[in-house]
Structure 1
Amino acid sequence: MNTNTFPRTHISLYVSDLAKTIEFYNAFFGKKADKIKPGYAKYIIESPSLIISFIENPERVQTGFGHLGFQVATRAAVESLLEKAKAKQIVSSEETGTACCYAIQDKFWVSDPDGVRWEVYYFHKDTEVNDPHYQSPESNSCCASSSAMQQ
């Protein structure tokens, strides 16, 4: 796909409490919202090129769709972002050298006030294995397949 065709990704999520959402994403993105209106907030992120908006509508909040994430270019970048997220007390978990989704990765996770999970990761290399703990029905991982969930 040509990057000029779709130069910026847009995501829009319904949220239950806009004030809590803004507080969380100000910390996670390290910047203030670019636009705030009644029941609405928007962030414009330059790297990666992303527009994400939040619409306050508790009845339409959807969870369990999987997760969102950012891949970073270096291990040092994920470590730096992890330290910043820890300082803001928004890290829910961290993993080093994990075999997740058939790739070796260093990563950390944050969850927004409505439970939307974000993964920030550095990709080391592909692998033919997936860590068995990700296949557990109790797993809250990014790559628990439906067959694992049905066990």
Structure 2
Amino acid sequence: MATHFHKKPNLYPAHVQLKVSDLARSIEYYTTIIGFKVLQRTGSEAYLTADGQTILVSLIEIQNAQPLQRGFAGLYHLALLLPSRKDLGNIVQHFVNLNIRLGAADHDVSEALYLNDPDGNGIEIYIDRDESEWTWFDDGQVNMVTEQLNFQPILTAADGNWTGLPAETVMGHVHLSVANLDKSEQFYTNVLDYNVVTRYGTQALFVSTGKYHHHFGLNTWNSNNGQAPEENMVGLKSVTIVLKDEHYAEEVKQSLNANGFIVENFAEAPAYGGAQLFSTVDPNGLRILFTLDGE
């Protein structure tokens, strides 16, 4: 497994905060079904980990929660990257044993499973094919397709030893439902430093740093010209992006300010996802946190 895509200096998403309607139900799902461990629980929040120390997902129970709806920007899915095909095989077998409904796809660069949590938040669990097998075109685009997943070699690789998410699991990418693709592209590539690596017509694009197939997906399939999510709506509360150093953090701040995006500094670090430096809101009304805490 290539781990350098989720280390500095890449601009990788490391943590997702989710608003949920019933914390106990969500904890049960994310531990029993997905295989997280609860690192800490405080009142209405729970912090989930795979390795016992790094928080990948935070769950926050909200009062009078409203369900996910079309026509709003937010989370399309968070994507957990497993280390190996054996690990993917083990979790497939686990899902089969629990009779869990799954979607699945072969994206050429990766092999992926798709589920929804009890609030309808999308989850992808995937492995990358070796980067030597990815096809890059002369225009800087990577070949990504959606084809039927062949489960046979995946299940053959399993060893029947499923004990939860492997410790090396990382937040592989985050896929967002956005209101305006052009404004989103401008933000993620001109204000931040991502490169467009794939386009799906006029409705979706994928961006990354360091020649990864994508650190963020952006699409308008359910959210074209949509509204920013409301506070009491389940779904995405924030995404945390890791910055490589303090000098670069200042450059990002200046870029945000120069382009009219409000920068909010943290007086003290919140408990989730490491020490945050500052945050902003993207053109879709989605909160992005920035941190130096990461590998």
Could you state the TM-score of these two structures normalised by the residue count of structure 2?
A: 0.37
State how far apart, in whole Å, the 1-side matches of 2:101 and 2:52 are.
21
SS in structure 1 at match of 2:8: coil
Q: Which runs of 4+ in 1 moved over 6 A?
A: 60-63
Higher RCO (C-alpha 8 Å, min separation 6)? 2
State how far apart, in whole Å, the 2-side matches of 1:80 and 1:48 are.
23
- What is the aligned counterpart of 1:109 among 111, 114, 130? 114
Larger Rg: 2
The residue correspondences of 1:38-53 to structure 2 (distance < 5 A) are: 38-46=43-51, 49-53=54-58
The residue correspondences of 1:1-151 to structure 2 (distance < 5 A) are: 2=8, 9-46=14-51, 49-57=54-62, 58-59=65-66, 64-95=74-105, 98=106, 100=107, 103-124=108-129, 125-127=133-135, 128=143, 130-131=145-146, 145=200, 147-148=202-203, 149=221
Q: Structure 1, unaligned stretches of length 5 or more?
A: 134-141
Q: What is the one-letter code of the residue matched to 2:90?
A: S
The number of residue pairs the alignment matches comes to: 134
Q: 1:18 to 1:83 in 2, by over 3 A?
A: same
Encode CA deviations 1:31-59: one digit per residue, 9 max, x unaligned.
54232333222223218943421111125
Q: What is the one-letter code of the residue matched to 2:117?
A: D
Q: 1:64 to 1:9 in 2, by over 3 A?
A: closer
Q: What is the percentage of aligned positions where both structures have the same residue?
A: 21
Q: What is the one-letter code of the residue matched to 1:147?
A: T
CA RMSD of aligned residues (A): 3.7
State how far apart, in whole Å, the 1-side matches of 2:128 and 2:53 are.
16
User: Is the contact made by 1:108 and 1:119 (CA closer than 8 Å) also made in structure 2?
Assistant: yes
State how far apart, in whole Å, the 2-side matches of 1:48 and 1:92 are.
29
Q: Structure 2, unaligned stretches of length 5 or more?
A: 1-6, 136-142, 149-174, 176-197, 204-220, 225-295
State how far apart, in whole Å, the 1-side matches of 2:99 and 2:116 are.
11
Q: What is the one-letter code of the residue matched to 1:76?
A: K
Q: 1:85 to 1:144 in 2, by over 3 A?
A: farther
SS in structure 2 at match of 1:2: coil
